[in-house]
Amino acid sequence: MPLTTLKDNRAFESVMRNGKFAVKDYLVLYVMENALDHSRYGISMGSKIGKATLRNRIRRWIRGILSDLEDRLRDSRDFVVVVRKAENWEFQEFKARLLYLLENRGMLRSL
């Protein structure tokens, strides 16, 4: 089943209130099991991150990383990636931090 997005605010709030989380520098990952046969994700970041072009670039990075990992992501989980303010935005560092969080919260299956 393809990875889908969390659509409504209640789903985001539920994951962030009831899920387990891990923090790595300027990223926070909340994970919670769901009753579905697939995983869903959400991305959250405030306007303090920078201009809209930067926020959109970061969203594209996250979606790209998750689509590359789609076959390794565990099913039946909702997760939210929260991006906090950071100074330097380098893709490889960003990807390494996100992978660390996904592994830390048990979101990745080993191949």
d(CA 65, CA 60): 8
Please write the tens of the pLDDT for every residue from 90-107. Answer: 899 999 999 999 999 989
Please write the tens of the pLDDT for every residue from 27-85. Answer: 999 999 999 988 999 999 988 888 899 899 999 999 999 999 998 998 899 999 999 97
Structural domain boundaries of the chain? 4-104
Instruction: Decide yes or no: CATH 3.30.230.10 for domain 4-104.
Output: yes
Long-range contacts of 91-100 (CB under 8 A, 24+ apart): 91/61, 94/27, 94/58, 94/61, 95/61, 95/65, 97/24, 97/25, 97/26, 97/27, 98/27, 98/29, 98/62, 98/65, 99/65, 99/69, 100/24
